[in-house]
Amino acid sequence: MAQQIGYSKKVMEHFMNPKNVGTMDDADGHGKVGNPVCGDLMEIFIKVKDDKIEDIRFQTFGCGSAIATSSMVSEMAKGMRLDEAMRITRNDVANELDGLPPVKMHCSNLAADALHEAIKDYKRKKGEIVEEEEKPAGHTCEHNHNHCDTC
């Protein structure tokens, strides 16, 4: 397939052959977020063992960039400790994909945010209190929500 203008080879590879697609009936954590910029949706399911993400699946009603970033974030997070996975930012995901066109950067919010929501859901189910400071280190949003177009 011809290289799409503005998309890296890695983005195209993950779009054409996404990893970890699907759902999980027995997930330990489930995150679902919507993108206020475009209205698209993302769900991530995680299985946790020994405080690490043992398995992960995603399902998105989003664009090609959402598919590619979700596939990449699932590969990045698999096997990672929960506290490390909480620090994955949208920029980390975009960098791992060798960049996204600026107009598509908002698409990477879905993947990182849904992952963080899935981890918080797991912690809530375990009875652990999830405080605001558990937001990823690179998150600079001043607003009281996770899906800000300006961050």
| Window of 26-34, 35-43, 91-99, 139-147 that interacts with ligand FES by CB under 6 A | 35-43
Catalytic site includes residue 63: no
**Binding to ligand FES in span 59-88, by CB under 6 A:** 62-63, 65-66
3-state secondary structure at position 23:
coil
Binding flag, residue 146, ligand FES (CB under 6 A): no
Q: Which residue shows structure tokens 């937001």?
A: 135
By the 8 A CB rule, do 115 and 31 touch? yes
Q: Tell me how far apart the alpha carbons of residues 130 and 108 are, in angstroms, rounded to a whole number.
A: 23
Task: Show the tokens assigned to 126.
Answer: 């375990």
Burial of 119 (0-12, 13-18, 19+ CB in 10 A): buried
Pick the binder of ligand FES from 56, 85, 110, 111 (CB under 6 A). Answer: 110
Active-site annotation holder among 63, 107, 141, 148: 107
Decide if residue 107 touches ligand FES (CB under 6 A). yes
- Complex with ligand FES: residue 35 or 57, whichever CB lies closer: 35
Catalytic (active-site) positions: 38, 107
